[in-house]
Amino acid sequence: MTESILPLLGVALCATALLQLLLWSGQSLTQWSHTRKQFEISREALRKQIEAFQSEHAEATEEIGQWNGYREFVVDELFRETKLSTSVYLKPVDGKSIVGFRPGQHMTFKFDIPGQSKPLVRCYSLSARPGDDRYRITVKTMRRSNSEAGSGKVSTFVNQSLMIGDRIQVKAPTGHFFLDEGSTAPIVLLAGGIGITPMVSMIDHIVHTKSERTVILMYGCRNSEEHTFKDHLKEVSERNANIHVINVYSQPLAQDQEGVDFQLTGLISLDLVEQLLPNNHFQFYLCGPPPFMNAISASLIEWQVPESRIFSEAFGPASVKRAKTRSDDDSAASTARVQFTSTQESICWDNQFESLLELAEANGIVVDSGCRAGSCGTCQTALLRGRVQYPNGMQVDCDSGQCLTCIALPDGDVELDA
């Protein structure tokens, strides 16, 4: 009897275990399905949160008042700074916000000047600190004219003919020359002539932000007649213990008083800089005319100032001459032939030229230009054949198939649509 019951008992136990297993599996499947649903819901919620964050973030990072290309501005105010220089205050015609900038940056302007067959493009540094609802530039009349197309025409127009209410096409602030606010190193600003403009923007920003960085401005100009922002800088240095101004006149007038209008006579040189500074542990910012820029930047490097601590602004003929690079002796460059579509002539490259723009102009080929230093994009020209090189890099993006002729050198034979 017992023997006959045992198998039945075994079968019953197995059936119970199987039933429990099925029940457990069913519960687990239900739970898993529920969990998966929850996971999907969470994933969907997370996706929505990410999208919301991205869109919010995109709005936050889209700078208020930014624009692409040219935007129309109106002359809001004109102020005669010296006999030869005028400050121009500009507001956007559309009345909307303007974008901020970093002290030291510049803007590109397109001027329609009566009698000129086409607009003339120029770059000018912003001469006020960021944070205002209008921009200010300060333009000095060029004394001489040279072979550069339109040279002196814009500065003369601004100083003699520009009126309040006139309209100008303007590109947004840009440029790699600006105050390094991530550093606390003391600063030396070396300005020549109208190269004072970005320095004023930097100094006013430092004062406005209550930065205690030491600033030493060495400002070279001819005499009191060309001493732009004289009263403003005097007042700023008297009110702020960390701002020091040393004015160096090259040709003081009879009425100019040493110790009052200026501190030193002569030109800003490394000798002078070395005499005035305890060491070279400063950040150096340079802006001025070509001889000034070239002499000072070379001298600072000789004085063992690391290039990473030398910042310079380069506009037009004021460009710092490029350092000699491998390409100067590169046979691909030195034996290159450059063809322009307008003449169909094949011209031998010559290393005496600083750029393809210079070569074009020397051969009577007109290429539009603005900053002449790779900052504004005006000289962009289609590169139909070959390759170019940029020994000192590029500050603006260049469209595919184009090149910035003001800073480009041929890298072998090239053909340009100019």
Tell me the closest approach of the beta carbon of residue 123 to ligand FES, in angstroms.
Answer: 7
For residue 403, state whether it binds ligand FES (rule: CB under 6 A).
no
Tell me the closest approach of the beta carbon of residue 375 to ligand FES, in angstroms.
Answer: 5
For residue 375, state whether it binds ligand FES (rule: CB under 6 A).
yes
Among 192, 374, 386, 410, binds ligand FES (CB under 6 A): 374
Residue from 218, 196, 182 nearest 82 by CA: 196
Rounded CA-CA distance 403/397 in Å is 10
Quick one: the chain helix, strand, coil %, rounded to 5? Answer: 35, 25, 45
Among 404, 409, 414, 416, binds ligand FES (CB under 6 A): 404
Own/partner pairs for 150-156, CB < 8 Å, 24+ apart? Answer: 150/116, 150/120, 153/113, 153/116, 153/120, 154/109, 154/111, 154/113, 154/120, 154/122
CA-based end-to-end distance of the chain: 114
| Binding pattern for the stretch 344-373 against ligand FES, x by CB under 6 A and - elsewhere | -------------------------xxxx-
For residue 378, state whether it binds ligand FES (rule: CB under 6 A).
yes
* Residue nearer to ligand FES on the CB measure, 91 or 387: 387
For residue 381, state whether it binds ligand FES (rule: CB under 6 A).
no
* Residue nearer to ligand FES on the CB measure, 229 or 315: 315
- Give me the DSSP letters along 31-66: HHHHHHHHHHHHHHHHHHHHHHHHHHHHHHHS-TT-
Between helix 230-239 and helix 196-208 the angle, nearest 10°, is 30
| C-alpha 298 chain-centroid distance | 22
* Residue nearer to ligand FES on the CB measure, 169 or 209: 169
Among 406, 409, 414, 416, binds ligand FES (CB under 6 A): 406
* Residue nearer to ligand FES on the CB measure, 105 or 378: 378
Sheet holding 264-265, edge to edge: 264-265, 243-249, 215-221, 187-192, 283-287, 310-312
Residue from 264, 317, 267 nearest 296 by CA: 267
Rounded CA-CA distance 326/375 in Å is 23
* Residue nearer to ligand FES on the CB measure, 148 or 181: 148
Only one of the segments 40-48, 142-150, 165-173, 376-384 lies at the binding site for ligand FES (rule: CB under 6 A); that segment is 376-384
* Residue nearer to ligand FES on the CB measure, 76 or 368: 368
Among 206, 216, 286, 379, binds ligand FES (CB under 6 A): 379
Tell me the closest approach of the beta carbon of residue 372 to ligand FES, in angstroms.
Answer: 5
Strand, helix or coil for residue 158: helix
* Residue nearer to ligand FES on the CB measure, 129 or 171: 171
Among 376, 403, 409, 414, binds ligand FES (CB under 6 A): 376
Among 104, 195, 377, 386, binds ligand FES (CB under 6 A): 377
Q: In what helix (H) or strand (E) does residue 415 lie, and over which residues does it extend?
A: strand 414-416
Q: How many residues bind ligand FES (CB under 6 A)?
A: 12
Tell me the closest approach of the beta carbon of residue 295 to ligand FES, in angstroms.
Answer: 24
- 3-class DSSP string for 254-302: CCCCECCCECEECCCCHHHHHHHCCCCCCEEEEECCHHHHHHHHHHHHH
* Residue nearer to ligand FES on the CB measure, 221 or 406: 406
Tell me the closest approach of the beta carbon of residue 36 to ligand FES, in angstroms.
Answer: 58
Only one of the segments 184-192, 210-218, 324-332, 377-385 lies at the binding site for ligand FES (rule: CB under 6 A); that segment is 377-385
Tell me the closest approach of the beta carbon of residue 148 to ligand FES, in angstroms.
Answer: 11
Tell me the closest approach of the beta carbon of residue 64 to ligand FES, in angstroms.
Answer: 27
Half-sphere exposure of 222 (CA within 13 A, CB side): 10
**C-beta neighbour count of 16 within 10 angstroms:** 10
Tell me the closest approach of the beta carbon of residue 404 to ligand FES, in angstroms.
Answer: 5
* Residue nearer to ligand FES on the CB measure, 194 or 408: 408
Tell me the closest approach of the beta carbon of residue 407 to ligand FES, in angstroms.
Answer: 6
On whether the CB atoms of residues 379 and 399 are closer than 8 A, the answer is no
State the residues that interact with ligand FES by CB under 6 A: 369-372, 374-379, 404, 406
